[in-house]
Amino acid sequence: MRIIDLTPDNGPAVEQVAALLVESFKDNWPDAWPTLAAALAEVRESFGPDRISRVAVDDSSAVLGWIGGQPQYDGHVWELHPLVVAARQRGQGIGRALVIDLEAQVRARGGLTLWLGTDDEAEMTSLGGVELFPNVLERLLTVRNLRRHPYEFYQKLGYEIVGIMPDANGPGKPDIYMAKSLK
């Protein structure tokens, strides 16, 4: 496996990444990229001059995973968006490698913090499907992973939960915010 820049002139990889987004998010995040056209628009957006777009590929150049990053706060903070790994390749360190690579890319551009939002639209955590008000922070402090929500993957890589937006995706569908210092 190697990690390379995803560029607009790499048509086969662009198509593979878009298909991967649709397939990987359809069950637990069906509104993320419901169609190939929506996924292609997301991939094309990642080619902005200030953005990072990286893919993990195998020896035959088949896409194993994709990660993107975009600067915020004058480049001091970057958002990790999105991260996807092919279902058959999960658990093999590809997601970890992509995140570590993105951290290095962001650090090289002067970024101090990397953050992400990880939605719970399918009641995968104790925060989904419930009314979080009042005492939102108390509920956040006692979050439990009920069905393999990705927030624990990020925690293993040093990311901390730094907040939550209740009902971000509709009633009982919060967005969990996580961040990591790159200093």
Q: pLDDT tens digits for 45-81?
A: 999 989 999 999 999 999 999 999 999 999 999 999 9
Computed over every residue of the chain, the mean pLDDT equals: 97
Tokens of 128: 């989904």
CA gap 133, 160 in Å, rounded: 22
Mean pLDDT of 169-173: 96
By the 8 A CB rule, do 152 and 176 touch? no
CA gap 69, 91 in Å, rounded: 22
Residue 31 pLDDT: 87
Q: Do domains 1-111 and 115-183 have the same CATH topology?
A: yes
- What CATH number belongs to 1-111? 3.40.630.30
- pLDDT of residue 99 exceeding 90, the answer is yes
Mean pLDDT of 97-104: 98
- What CATH number belongs to 115-183? 3.40.630.30
Mean pLDDT of 143-156: 97
By the 8 A CB rule, do 110 and 75 touch? yes
Question: What ranges make up the beta strands (E) of 62-125?
Answer: 63-72, 77-85, 113-119
By the 8 A CB rule, do 113 and 180 touch? yes
Write down the domain spans for the chain: 1-111, 115-183
pLDDT tens for each residue of 76-88: 999 999 999 999 9
Residue 168 pLDDT: 97
